[in-house]
Amino acid sequence: MLYLKKYFTEGLIQFTILLSLIGVRVDVDTYLSNQLPPLREIILGPSSAYTQTQFHNLRNTLDGYGIHPKSVDLDHFFTTRRLLNQVRQLDRLSVPSTELNTWLVHRDSETVVSTSSQSSITLDNGAGLEDVNNPDATPAMRGGSGAPESTYNLNAADSSLGAVAPEGNQEQGSRDGNDDLTKEDIDLIDILWRQDIDLGAGREVFNYSNRQKESEEEKPSPHENKDRNEEQESWRNGVNLQGAQPVDGETGESIPEQLPGIGSQTSLSLQECLRLLEATFPFGEESEFPAPVVTPEIVSNEEAPSTSQGLPLAPQLPPAEPQLDLEQQWQDIMAIMELQAMEVNNTSLQSNSSSVDGTSGTTESNPGGNFELSTGSTPVNQDVSLHQASLPSCSQDFPQMFNPQLDSISITPRTTMPRLSSSNSSNINSTFGATNLTGIFLPPHINSSSNNITSTPILPDPFSTLLEESMLDEISLLDLAMEEGFSQAQASQLEDELDSDSGLSLDSSHSPASPSSSETSCSSAASSSSTSATFSEEGAVGYSTDSEVATAETEEGAVGGYQPGYSKLCRMSYQDPSQFHGLPQLDGISHNHTYNLPLSSAFSEHPELPISTGKKTVRDKQHSKLQPHQDLLDKHASRDERRARAMKIPFSNEKIINLPVEEFNELLAKHHLSEAQLALIRDIRRRGKNKMAAQNCRKRKLDTIINLEQGVQDLRRDKARLLKEKMEFIRSLRQMKQKMQSLYQEVFTQLRDEEGRPYPPSEYSLQYSADGSVLITPRRDDCRAEP
């Protein structure tokens, strides 16, 4: 079974990949995340533990979701775990390939696009990361700002993106490996699916894999054809030409959902940027900020660029950071990619995030390698091509400044910030935060001579600091996020579930729906079988209402039916129907290992009984030898069942164990039983209940562990998401600063004194007052902290 399961699981994964390639999206994550318990079980493996919740079955059937984590059977649990791990590993493994593919694609497409369409834009800087990310955005930016094109060098950054492309081949190779599926594999997948469907799991379960597939598809497709790139873009945009719903790379959520979210994020980013600007700047009114205009532009434009960004990064990382685990790097990249995928709709966000991610990655692992790629661009983007794409704006703005200082840029910002802030030379400088800005901006030479090209503001110090801070954490976060796409809501659900965990509550803990479903499934399976009806009834007795128990009484014929046995039946039906069929004949065979205890052993347990020894099993074996004829009968019977039989107990162990106390006492009263029989019955009842309790307890433990694991994953994903948002905010802020700078320059250059002469930027600066007025004030020497 395990082998088959494993084999099927692998096949399913491949199948999901195929589906993703075809355009069908399967979101495994959602299921894994507990929302769809059945799927989760399928993926994890039909662990008996989930299937077994016998007791609760009756109660929870109404809930709709049957599978309960508490299920007594844990036998397949580890198997499921292993499968899940494999799936996750597949993600990781596939992810790199996918990323690589995307990178190549984007690169090619972007490079081509940038060169062709944006040739005018890409004036100079290799640093024009933004352009790469948002080629469209840059033009929009221009239009919005109204500043001269020369002032916006962002376009130049686009050209830099092209630099990143080398790894496309590798990606394709990896991808090819994933894609290879034989007909046999497909058949196996189909079989597995059927099984899964039978179990109640939907194909949606595989969304997670689909995401991977999608990513792979997207990436590879670009390689193949530019047209594909366009298709991918459409996907990202949330419009699936194929009809499949767009799904976030990270969470596997449908893009439509993300879009709104993205919009919200962008708005937030803008607000945050404004706040930051206000904090640094004396601006009285937000309206002055170009940001609002910029963000929308970015959003619209970024989609295509974002993908491209992702691609370049992947290639760079491997070569750049041999020291780091390739796996981890890939995971990071994957996480970034996922984040970008989620943000696909929001181009601006993607570009920002990508840039940030790249910077973070670079800072940690390979600053040098990244820099090489983005040498022209900002240092932040070093690691990841994505970063380059996003960051370029800054670099573009101040290519000259950065180029010499690439290495020190990350460091300098923090130090410079204080200086700038301290120096009140110009509010603008402080707002931009970057010393470079002050120098570049205000410095008369630069501004006057080559303001257009170089004037773009460098990332302000606050950005650098933020980036640096976030960057360090981002990688880890991204890795975490990579593992599973969890939404915050899911995470919260997990937490809630965990909180609610109690012995029985475990069911709910997994997922509101899952537990009930699992149980229902078990019950249904049991009911389906001929004998199942009795089992289900009695099995449920312990937890079910008395009325249910009463119905169970009809079964007395069954000798040994424990609830455990019932649970096993559920499992059996679930996992191996063939086994189940045999059970009915056995009449309530218990789940026990079928200790071959002799009848005498039963007595031993009771002090009253003649035999009382610690080692029951040994004696049992001996007795079994003595009484071979009973072995067959006892084979499938638990010790207590055998004891009961030996003691000639007139009713089944199942009743003894599951009947309510009242009914149990009545039952005892009906029959005239000896002390030994009564003692045995009580022991049977005690042990039977304790056995179930132990099973529940163990199941609960497992569920708790699983939930904790999921909670950790959710938290990681949330962290990654937050980091991405942070990066996006930073990017937006950066863009707003750039725009602000350009506007500042534009205004400043048009200012004339009484004599009609322009004010020298080195001597004068514009200051924004809280009331929104702008004043031109002489610049203090201190202000020019520039090198």
Partner DNA sequence: CCCGACTGTCATTGA
Partner DNA sequence: CCTCAATGACAGTCG
* 582 lines the binding site for DNA (CB under 7 A): no
* 691 lines the binding site for DNA (CB under 7 A): yes
Within positions 621 to 640, which residues make up the interface with DNA, using CB under 7 A?
621, 638-640
Contact indicator for 108, 313 with CB cutoff of 8 Å = no
Q: Which is nearer to DNA, 175 or 643 (CB)?
A: 643
Q: Which is nearer to DNA, 118 or 590 (CB)?
A: 590
Q: Where are the alpha helices (DSSP H) in 281-325?
A: 291-320
Q: Which is nearer to DNA, 15 or 664 (CB)?
A: 664
Spatial separation of the C-alpha atoms in residues 420 and 696, rounded to whole Å: 64
Query: Of these, 181, 186, 678, 697, which contacts DNA (CB under 7 A)?
Result: 697
Contact indicator for 611, 601 with CB cutoff of 8 Å = yes
* String marking each residue 469-508 x if it binds DNA according to CB under 7 A: ---------------------------------xxx----
Q: Which two tokens stand for residue 557?
A: 């014929």
Task: From 202-210, 244-252, 320-328, 659-667, give the range in contact with DNA by CB under 7 A.
Answer: 659-667
Spatial separation of the C-alpha atoms in residues 258 and 242, rounded to whole Å: 19
Task: From 170-178, 388-396, 694-702, 738-746, give the range in contact with DNA by CB under 7 A.
Answer: 694-702
Among candidate residues 589, 551, 548, the one with its CA nearest the CA of residue 571: 589
* 59 lines the binding site for DNA (CB under 7 A): no
* 279 lines the binding site for DNA (CB under 7 A): no
Residue 774 β-bridge partners: 768
The distance of closest approach from Cβ of residue 35 to DNA in the complex, given in angstroms and rounded to an integer, is: 25
Contact indicator for 716, 481 with CB cutoff of 8 Å = yes
- Residue 149 has a CB neighbour count (10 Å cut-off) of 17
Q: Which is nearer to DNA, 213 or 645 (CB)?
A: 645
* 573 lines the binding site for DNA (CB under 7 A): no
Q: Give the pairing of strands 774-778 and 764-768.
A: antiparallel
* 664 lines the binding site for DNA (CB under 7 A): yes
Q: Which two tokens stand for residue 85?
A: 């791990």
Spatial separation of the C-alpha atoms in residues 175 and 16, rounded to whole Å: 14
* String marking each residue 512-551 x if it binds DNA according to CB under 7 A: ------------------------------xx--------
Spatial separation of the C-alpha atoms in residues 315 and 294, rounded to whole Å: 30
The residue with tokens 């107990």 is 649
Q: Which is nearer to DNA, 623 or 784 (CB)?
A: 623
Q: Where are the alpha helices (DSSP H) in 501-598?
A: 506-510, 513-528, 532-541, 546-552, 563-575, 577-586
The distance of closest approach from Cβ of residue 740 to DNA in the complex, given in angstroms and rounded to an integer, is: 59
3-state secondary structure of 766: strand
The distance of closest approach from Cβ of residue 483 to DNA in the complex, given in angstroms and rounded to an integer, is: 22
Q: Which is nearer to DNA, 450 or 704 (CB)?
A: 704
Task: From 22-30, 527-535, 589-597, 644-652, give the range in contact with DNA by CB under 7 A.
Answer: 589-597
* 694 lines the binding site for DNA (CB under 7 A): yes
Instruction: Report residue 712: phi and psi, to 5°.
Output: -65, -45
Contact indicator for 743, 290 with CB cutoff of 8 Å = yes
Beta carbons within 8 Å of 498's beta carbon, 6+ residues apart:
509, 704, 707, 708, 711
* 85 lines the binding site for DNA (CB under 7 A): no
Spatial separation of the C-alpha atoms in residues 671 and 656, rounded to whole Å: 13
Task: From 16-24, 420-428, 611-619, 724-732, give the range in contact with DNA by CB under 7 A.
Answer: 611-619
Q: How buried is 729 (Cβ within 10 angstroms: 0-12 exposed, 13-18 middle, 19+ buried)?
A: buried
Q: How far is CA 672 from CA 143, 681, 762, in A?
A: 98, 13, 110
Instruction: Report residue 14: phi and psi, to 5°.
Output: -60, -40
Q: Which is nearer to DNA, 665 or 674 (CB)?
A: 665
Task: From 312-320, 324-332, 661-669, 738-746, give the range in contact with DNA by CB under 7 A.
Answer: 661-669
* 82 lines the binding site for DNA (CB under 7 A): no
Which residue type occupies 300? S
* 322 lines the binding site for DNA (CB under 7 A): no
Task: From 142-150, 231-239, 370-378, 681-689, give the range in contact with DNA by CB under 7 A.
Answer: 681-689
- Residue 703 has a CB neighbour count (10 Å cut-off) of 27
* 7 lines the binding site for DNA (CB under 7 A): no
The distance of closest approach from Cβ of residue 201 to DNA in the complex, given in angstroms and rounded to an integer, is: 21
Reduced DSSP (H G I as helix, E B as strand, rest coil) percent helix, strand, coil of the chain, to 5: 75, 0, 25
Which residue type occupies 151? T
* 414 lines the binding site for DNA (CB under 7 A): no
3-state secondary structure of 767: strand
Q: Which is nearer to DNA, 397 or 620 (CB)?
A: 620
CA triple 477-482-486, angle to 5 deg: 90
* 690 lines the binding site for DNA (CB under 7 A): yes
Query: Of these, 590, 732, 738, 742, which contacts DNA (CB under 7 A)?
Result: 590
* 642 lines the binding site for DNA (CB under 7 A): no
Residue 170 parent element (H or E): helix 168-179
Query: Of these, 218, 338, 364, 683, which contacts DNA (CB under 7 A)?
Result: 683
The distance of closest approach from Cβ of residue 619 to DNA in the complex, given in angstroms and rounded to an integer, is: 9
Task: From 3-11, 68-76, 413-421, 767-775, give the range in contact with DNA by CB under 7 A.
Answer: 68-76
Task: From 166-174, 319-327, 472-480, 680-688, give the range in contact with DNA by CB under 7 A.
Answer: 680-688
Q: Which is nearer to DNA, 387 or 623 (CB)?
A: 623
* 687 lines the binding site for DNA (CB under 7 A): yes
Query: Of these, 74, 276, 336, 583, which contacts DNA (CB under 7 A)?
Result: 74
* 382 lines the binding site for DNA (CB under 7 A): no
What is the Cα Rg of the chain in Å?
Answer: 34
Q: Which is nearer to DNA, 51 or 738 (CB)?
A: 51
Query: Of these, 91, 483, 620, 725, which contacts DNA (CB under 7 A)?
Result: 620
Spatial separation of the C-alpha atoms in residues 482 and 488, rounded to whole Å: 15
* 453 lines the binding site for DNA (CB under 7 A): no
Contact indicator for 156, 128 with CB cutoff of 8 Å = yes
* 436 lines the binding site for DNA (CB under 7 A): no
The residue with tokens 């993908």 is 307
Within positions 35 to 54, which residues make up the interface with DNA, using CB under 7 A?
48
Within positions 114 to 133, which residues make up the interface with DNA, using CB under 7 A?
none
* 661 lines the binding site for DNA (CB under 7 A): yes
The distance of closest approach from Cβ of residue 510 to DNA in the complex, given in angstroms and rounded to an integer, is: 15
Q: Which is nearer to DNA, 545 or 554 (CB)?
A: 545
Beta carbons within 8 Å of 293's beta carbon, 6+ residues apart:
140, 144, 145, 739
Query: Of these, 82, 414, 698, 719, which contacts DNA (CB under 7 A)?
Result: 698
Query: Of these, 670, 671, 686, 780, which contacts DNA (CB under 7 A)?
Result: 686
Among candidate residues 562, 551, 543, 778, the one with its CA nearest the CA of residue 653: 562
Contact footprint for DNA (CB under 7 A): 48, 72-75, 77-78, 502-504, 542-543, 564, 590-595, 605, 614-618, 620-621, 638-640, 660-661, 664-665, 683, 685-698, 700-701
